[in-house]
Structure 1
């Protein structure tokens, strides 16, 4: 049957609903057996029963994707090789923030200075993987699995969740496009969504009559035995338990209008919703600065550092009554070379700096077993602190979890940047 474009079709509303539901992908990603991923709207949920409860500690892991240059963020001005290696892009000591005899912070990190001065922000330098790995994706996988030599696909944050007796998809949450990072991937249930609004049942909107979509799904799945029925019921429970987050204030206008700003605003809103989320992950991209890293006057480093600092400062200020629960750790898959290249950039390196902020942090200083920079053929910052030692100190002090469970086969070295 055909119809004239000028004559409205009687089923136009129905077609609009169908197109809207199709765009949201009602059937994209069906549930399989336990451990598979369920897609509900744009939210991803791994199958397990939901049990919302207030979290006593919250860990936010911010990954600087692309290998951030820790020597630019936390500058070793007291090492003379730093200025020899970077005659054009080095930052003069008198421009650095909170400078001590060896280190100082990049000037664009100024929004974080109140946290530093209050002892709520620390840096740990010369950190990284136990052996060099200059492949972005291989290094990311190794950092996030944190279990060298294992063939088990389970990340360290998933193991941390598993150390808790509670089992809920709300314990772990990735802010992103639906694919959880390796650190959260594994047997334990987690969620992933790009925004608070994405955590919904696809099609449960203005077209649904008297919660018809929800009622239909419950009718279909509530009595179904086995993993498939359990998966669907856990999904419904997680969505119901998430409702307080949607009621929490959206303070995103206080953040930079950037991907990181939007993501951290979502993280803060989830934390303030207090529905039992314990670990959250978020990314900031574009740190792969082989060229145009630049100087204090121009370049990618000043832009990214400014976005990082303003976004994190806004996030810490936005936590409200949940502030005393939240610890933030900032890391990257590896560092960059000591010596600048011809294009005002830096190639892939080894050692790096990590930042830790918030609850339990003994801040206002740089923790480092400094190896000294060199101008030899490799010209890399050597790793003297395995990154897992940094994470293990947070895990043990804030969650009371066994580091042997979260980081199998690894014995962490005490660093002292967290209260016990």
Structure 2
């Protein structure tokens, strides 16, 4: 169990999460250095690129820092919830999309149109098969999704590997230049801070005669080694990514936040139709050991509002193209049932997953509720392995073999997705 923050301490993440963020940036950069070529601020791994229309698009939104699922989807029908959280519990009267047991945090109200139209669902009491309260280890375990294996390959990299005609444009990490573990592996992918950053350095308005790019081709086109192939792949990927760069930027209709900016970029990629099928984005600052707050103040209020407004803007921006896009939220673990002395919550176990968009059987809460315990070290128990939820998305939206994406795992039926 992690220790509670001292009363009155600053609203910062725990030291481990801060170290994970710094270590992830450094480790990711080093890992990519041997296998990828930087193009502007984008990273493209070595493989010939091709542009092809995507029939289905999966957006995996990671809530970094361990979001409190009991605040996002509140079990108001379980009396222990209110006993364990006398100051920070969300009042039942304030919840939206409420049934006899659950309701959404009121700041998730922008998602109600998706819920009412049957395109948003929640699966509660999800998580890893065994508790893991280390941010670093839990992120690795969740995104690798292959317990016991020493292979450096994430579940999304295995997913795109089921396509024999794979290209680097098939999977993109947006919002930062570091690949998440879920995308790391043998299959080529892209990572970029923005759509406009996918460009050849020097290919700009100042190079009026194209001499710089010609010089790069002269230097690299004859190289047959790994670095030469990587540069050739990068040239091809940048060229094929052109339609996305030419797609209008509608960021003004999104929240002015990192998540809003990232999802606006994802929408540009989808509208550009360059063959991207898998996209990863992050929303950080969910490690709320202190100052989680109430409906009037605090970090949960702000994060939930940003999450809902950004997702709502994303699906509105997509318009008719939303019919092929499925968004899933995931977090490394949940928070304790009992609040601490700093109006926050320490590291826990079970959590909630939100699914929105194509194929989702929405307007409903899924999962088996285990009940809560009002003790100091109480966790929400996990009754649905998170891989069962992801496996349902993988099989229904992509027709992929869940045995290849999640080796050695037998998914249980969740029922949250419709078949192809």
Q: What is the TM-score of this pair, normalised by structure 1?
A: 0.91
How big is the shift at 1:92?
1.4
How big is the shift at 1:224?
2.1
SS at match of 1:390: helix
Partner residue of 1:60?
59
Partner residue of 2:277?
278
Partner residue of 2:254?
255
Partner residue of 1:5?
none
SS at match of 2:62: strand
Partner residue of 1:102?
101
How big is the shift at 1:228?
2.8
Task: State how far apart, in whole Å, the 2-side matches of 1:393 and 1:308 are.
Answer: 23
How big is the shift at 1:203?
1.9
Partner residue of 1:225?
224
Q: What's the CA shift string for 1:48-92, capped at 9, x where partnerless?
A: 110110011100000000000000000000001001100111111
How big is the shift at 1:32?
7.3
How big is the shift at 1:176?
2.8
Partner residue of 1:400?
399
Task: State how far apart, in whole Å, the 1-side matches of 2:273 and 2:81 are.
Answer: 45
Task: State which drifts further: 317-326 or 263-272.
Answer: 317-326
How big is the shift at 1:208?
1.7
How big is the shift at 1:368?
1.5
Task: State how far apart, in whole Å, the 2-side matches of 1:321 and 1:381 are.
Answer: 38
Partner residue of 1:204?
203
Alpha carbons 1:337, 1:350 under 8 Å: kept: yes
Partner residue of 1:293?
292
Name the larger-Rg structure.
1
Partner residue of 1:320?
319
Alpha carbons 2:49, 2:233 under 8 Å: kept: yes
Seen in structure 2, the aligned counterparts of structure 1 residues 304 and 30 have a Cα distance that, compared at 3 Å, is closer
Alpha carbons 2:36, 2:230 under 8 Å: kept: no
Matches within 5 A, 1:173-212: 173-212=172-211
The answer to whether residue 353 in structure 2 is matched with residue 361 in structure 1 is no
Matches within 5 A, 1:7-406: 36-406=35-405
How big is the shift at 1:246?
1.0
How big is the shift at 1:29?
9.2
Partner residue of 2:16?
none
SS at match of 2:256: coil
How big is the shift at 1:377?
4.5
Alpha carbons 2:46, 2:233 under 8 Å: kept: yes
Task: State how far apart, in whole Å, the 2-side matches of 1:171 and 1:348 are.
Answer: 35
Alpha carbons 1:29, 1:37 under 8 Å: kept: no
Q: What's the CA shift string for 1:209-267, capped at 9, x where partnerless?
A: 32212211222222222333222211111000000001111100000001110000001
Task: State how far apart, in whole Å, the 2-side matches of 1:30 and 1:280 are.
Answer: 20
Task: State how far apart, in whole Å, the 1-side matches of 2:269 and 2:209 are.
Answer: 27
Task: State how far apart, in whole Å, the 1-side matches of 2:410 and 2:213 are.
Answer: 48
Alpha carbons 1:29, 1:38 under 8 Å: kept: no
How big is the shift at 1:31?
9.3
**C-alpha RMSD over aligned residues:** 1.5
Uncovered stretches (5+) of structure 2, i.e. residues with no partner: 1-28
SS at match of 1:68: coil
Please list every run of at least 4 consecutive aligned residues from structure 1 whose deviation after the TM superposition is greater than 4 angstroms.
28-33
Seen in structure 2, the aligned counterparts of structure 1 residues 30 and 343 have a Cα distance that, compared at 3 Å, is closer
Q: What is the TM-score of this pair, normalised by structure 2?
A: 0.91
Task: State how far apart, in whole Å, the 2-side matches of 1:301 and 1:54 are.
Answer: 38
Partner residue of 1:3?
none
Alpha carbons 2:338, 2:375 under 8 Å: kept: no
Task: State how far apart, in whole Å, the 1-side matches of 2:236 and 2:277 are.
Answer: 17
Task: State how far apart, in whole Å, the 2-side matches of 1:30 and 1:109 are.
Answer: 37
The answer to whether residue 417 in structure 2 is matched with residue 418 in structure 1 is yes
Partner residue of 1:20?
none
Alpha carbons 2:338, 2:376 under 8 Å: kept: no
Partner residue of 2:14?
none
SS at match of 1:131: coil
Task: State which drifts further: 222-231 or 270-279.
Answer: 222-231
Seen in structure 2, the aligned counterparts of structure 1 residues 296 and 239 have a Cα distance that, compared at 3 Å, is same
Uncovered stretches (5+) of structure 1, i.e. residues with no partner: 1-27
Seen in structure 2, the aligned counterparts of structure 1 residues 30 and 221 have a Cα distance that, compared at 3 Å, is farther
Count of matched residue positions in the alignment of Structure 1 and Structure 2: 391
Alpha carbons 2:75, 2:103 under 8 Å: kept: yes
Task: State how far apart, in whole Å, the 1-side matches of 2:60 and 2:123 are.
Answer: 15
